[in-house]
Amino acid sequence: MSTDDKNRAIAAAILPLVGGAGNISSVAHCMTRLRLGLRDRSLVRDEALKALPSVMGVVEDDTYQIVLGPGTVARVTPEFEALVAAGAAQAPAHSAEELADRGAALKAARKAKNATPFKLFLRKIANIFVPLIPALIGCGIIAGLNGLLVNLGLLPGVTPALAAIASGFMALIAVFVGYNTAKEFGGTPILGGAVAAIIVYAGVAKVEVFGQALSPGQGGVLGALGAAVLAVHVEKWCRRRVPESLDVLVTPTLTVLVSGLVTIYGLMFVAGEISQGIGDFADWLLENAGAGAGFLLGGLFLPLVMLGLHQALIPIHTTLIEQQGYTVLLPILAMAGAGQVGAAMAVYLKLPRNGSLRRTVKSALPAGFLGVGEPLIYGVSLPLGRPFVTACVGGAFGGGFIGLFTMLGDKVGSTAIGPSGWALFPLLDGDKGLGTTLAIYAGGLVVGYLVGFAATYFWGFSREMIEEFDVDTEAVAASAPVATGPGATGRDPEPEPEPAQA
């Protein structure tokens, strides 16, 4: 089977299990997940979906998210969109409306429960930066390759071209941030990009604000974000007040002019001070309290992910990359995944008779080593409860290890965001040479693996949990009597055991 046929088969297997084409209101994807908007959540067959070999897990938030893994999701999504479009064209004209009516109440209730204003705001911020991650990764790897060639004195005629390729995106990242910000906040994307482009225009060096000449790029991505949000508000104000006959001329002109002046004479300076403060604080924190800060960041990152609060870190990472060439926070946060891997290996050894759970661990571990933690989190540690906590302990010690070396003067950073685990090695950078940087990061992973394993093996299970989960589930299922009706056994069915408590 060709790669295209395989991806089409995966999409075709998923579609009927999520209610068919008529039940899909939106399709998108991030690094690892296919994100679906559903009209009627009750039509989804969760267990059948999780049983598909290509599905690593499912997560329910404001969208229904199917974990397919990096690379795979980017190839399956277009095939899925094509199937949805074809199914919608063949469906009766009234089917989508019927599904929408049936699912509207459920969808509204779920959103009212889960969507706090703060989380909605963070989700918007994430939607601005997540589409930029592939370019950050590609340019980051090229920058690392170029640095290696320069250090080795190889291909001197090629390295300037590689430097230009690696740096071009970062030089204009403010424009892309402005474009995505306007799109996310309901404005015209190109106007957001036009206002944000002012920040990186070389001519701003001739402008003085508060007695200081501006620098191209001052304010960075935070300035671009603020400028584009302002542009959206100005544009909406104009749309409400400018006559339709003049709208096409007046609205874009006033949007760019007003937002541009405020950006030049206010936002660039303020955002520049904030960006500089973020960089200085990150350096100070890790240089003076690196081990403790790394311990807290590595240990608390997974709970932040579960709460959706990790999205607030994305603009901070991007700001640090823009300022320093790398983010010192990501390698520390990546240790959370190492703790999960160690905990999963302990679960595998601790429950030798539970073949089903051991297969889940075996299938999810390769992705875990590469930094894709969702299958281990949602399929292994989180449902068990206590192993999730001990996995966080492993991440804390791994983060503390890297933070300790930062205190000693050996910074470890990543030139892009997105990858984690072993996949982060090509993106690593630091201030003491590539060999030292790689060794420190590898040491942090080993510490995370070992502490996560030990904490889970010795303290991750109570006696009751062992009795409940260390059973041959397949043998139990095979020996269970086959009932032909509600009263076929002559007695009421026994209640299911209560889930284990952390």
Q: Which residue among the candidates 30, 139, 238, 392 is catalytic per the annotation?
A: 30
Q: Would you give the DSSP letter of residue 54? A: T
For residues 63 and 30, what is the distance between their CA atoms, to the nearest angstrom? Answer: 12
Q: Is 392 a catalytic residue?
A: no
Q: What is the CA radius of gyration of the chain?
A: 26
**Contact predicate 428/434, CB 8 Å:** yes
How many C-alpha atoms does 117 have within 13 Å on its Cβ side? Answer: 0
For residues 172 and 221, what is the distance between their CA atoms, to the nearest angstrom? Answer: 10
Each as own residue / partner, the long-range contacts of residues 423-431 (CB below 8 Å, 24 or more positions apart, any chain) are 423/70, 423/370, 423/371, 424/330, 424/331, 424/334, 424/371, 426/140, 426/141, 426/144, 427/137, 427/140, 427/141, 427/144, 428/144, 428/331, 429/143, 429/144, 429/147, 429/325, 429/326, 430/326
**DSSP annotation string for 136-158:** HHHHHHHHHHHHHHHHHT--TTT
- Residue type for position 417: I
* Chain position carrying tokens 């995966």: 10
**Contact predicate 386/492, CB 8 Å:** no
Strands 428-430 and 208-209: unpaired
Active site positions, annotated: 30
